[in-house]
Structure 1
């Protein structure tokens, strides 16, 4: 019984001491490294609000060049048609970042498109 308890404790200690794969310790500066660390850019949506209160967005489906009255409307227009769920990840300056659960093979890389507008992933 003691051997089983000791083995269980050692296994638990080993698992707890492994690095977490869900976090990134250092901020990433290199765009290629950033894209590889954040899966495929097709999973993401980026939204922002202008000074007039209109919402814009870049997603795997399309970019919004005309503002929408609500962020919800903007997200519905830019998200992948395959996405059934998405979660808010946080803010990067004026940008709000979301991650989708699915994308289509023909969807575009949101992160690369957003970087052209001055966006950079900050977490």
Structure 2
């Protein structure tokens, strides 16, 4: 009986635990980690601004935009194109707002990939 009483508080603490660090990172910080950039680097703030802008243009969550951007970087790297997430975000943010409103970010980034890999 005593081992259970001693283990119960430990189990309770383990169940509550600390939050998963990956879940507490912003989408910009996650992209920075993928690009091997320190999460306190000034480029993270630039990525955050671009994600906010793109989220407004495409009416999609920043997490979704970050995910598709990261996947696009992977595809470009596999095709031998040297780039990073910040560059891709900047290029995508250059789209006119009305063009962005006519498509999803997924469609737009797919078109971007087709252009960059020709």
Q: TM-score range by the shorter chain?
A: 0.3 to 0.5
Q: What TM-score do you get using the length of structure 1 for normalisation?
A: 0.33
More helix by share: 2
TM norm structure 2: 0.34
